[in-house]
Amino acid sequence: MKPRVYVEEPLRAGMQVELPLSAQHHARVLRLRQGEALVLFDGTGGEWDAVLVGKKTAQLGEHHAVERESPLAVTLVQGVSSGERMDYTVQKAVELGVAVIQPLLTKKGIVRLEGKRADARVAHWQRVVISACEQCGRNRVPELRPLIGFSDYALTPEGPAPRLLLSAQGRSIREFDAPGGATIAAGPEAGFALEEQATLERAGFVKASLGPRILRTETAALAALAALSALRGDF
């Protein structure tokens, strides 16, 4: 399998591009040599054949209009969880075809981020998103929105209908029709506070259940994405 590399600048046939530092490191680890084939993409759609022409440089060849996007445009509103849990959620959500990720600071969340620490964490998640696209074959990079507090999101909640609030008390997720997309709200480790749940319901969210078992935060959103893909998407 050819290594896939995301390049931030717009690509065009015949151009030479300097590979990002992460790709240069990857090439060293894999011991790639001059003349070896790569696949490059810039996140706007399709992918490019490429050949390594130096330690840091690749030459672009033919463009292929290949798309591996889900037919469902799903927005994930995810209460920020701690450490690797959030990384795992972001990574696997991308693999499952999520279109938009909105990280949210909530009342019962363990993580408290602001200022430069918040910016650094979002930049880290963006790298996770790109790495997941490189791995899973997506040629369009999902939108990772800025980290905001719950009260800011509640002022203008965004995302397509149906809007599903994951809850053990809700209707089965299989009962919801999602012909073109959905919005999934998943809480952090301790879940959404009662007042946050009420606010989301006033904004049009409906409680949706994933069965009788209690799922961890890093499991719940991914199970919902997988269920929607199986019921209405491309599984």
40 and 128 belong to one structural domain: no
31 and 119 belong to one structural domain: no
DSSP state of 7: -
First vs last C-alpha separation in the chain: 23
124 and 48 belong to one structural domain: no
Return the pLDDT at 135. Answer: 95
Return the pLDDT at 29. Answer: 61
8 and 38 belong to one structural domain: yes
25 pLDDT above the threshold of 80? no
Return the pLDDT at 31. Answer: 75
22 pLDDT above the threshold of 70? yes
Residue where one domain finishes, among candidates 46, 64, 82: 64
pLDDT tens per residue, range 49-105: 999 888 888 899 999 999 999 999 999 999 999 889 999 999 999 999 999 999 999
Distances (CA, A) of 203 to 173, 186, 200, 206: 19, 15, 5, 9
pLDDT band at 129 (very low <50, low <70, confident <90, very high): very high
- Residue in 64, 83, 101 with CA at minimum distance from that of residue 184: 101
53 and 91 belong to one structural domain: no
Residue where one domain finishes, among candidates 64, 94, 113: 64
Return the pLDDT at 117. Answer: 84
Least confident of 31-45, 59-73, 119-133, 203-217: 31-45
Which CATH number covers residue 37? 2.40.240.20
How many separate domains does the chain show?
2
Return the pLDDT at 161. Answer: 84
181 and 121 belong to one structural domain: yes
30 pLDDT above the threshold of 70? no
Domain that includes residue 43, residue range: 4-64
124 and 226 belong to one structural domain: yes
123 and 190 belong to one structural domain: yes
117 and 219 belong to one structural domain: yes
100 and 152 belong to one structural domain: yes
Helices 83-95 and 217-232: crossing angle in degrees, nearest 10, is: 10
pLDDT tens per residue, range 172-214: 999 998 888 999 999 999 999 999 999 999 999 999 999 999 9
Q: What is the mean pLDDT of residues 121-146?
A: 96
Q: What is the mean pLDDT of residues 145-166?
A: 90
159 pLDDT above the threshold of 90? no
48 and 101 belong to one structural domain: no
Helices 83-95 and 115-136: crossing angle in degrees, nearest 10, is: 40
Residue where one domain finishes, among candidates 13, 47, 64: 64
Record the tokens describing residue 181, joined without a space: 């997309």
Residues ≥6 apart with Cβ < 8 Å to 21? none
104 and 47 belong to one structural domain: no
Q: What is the pTM of this model?
A: 0.92
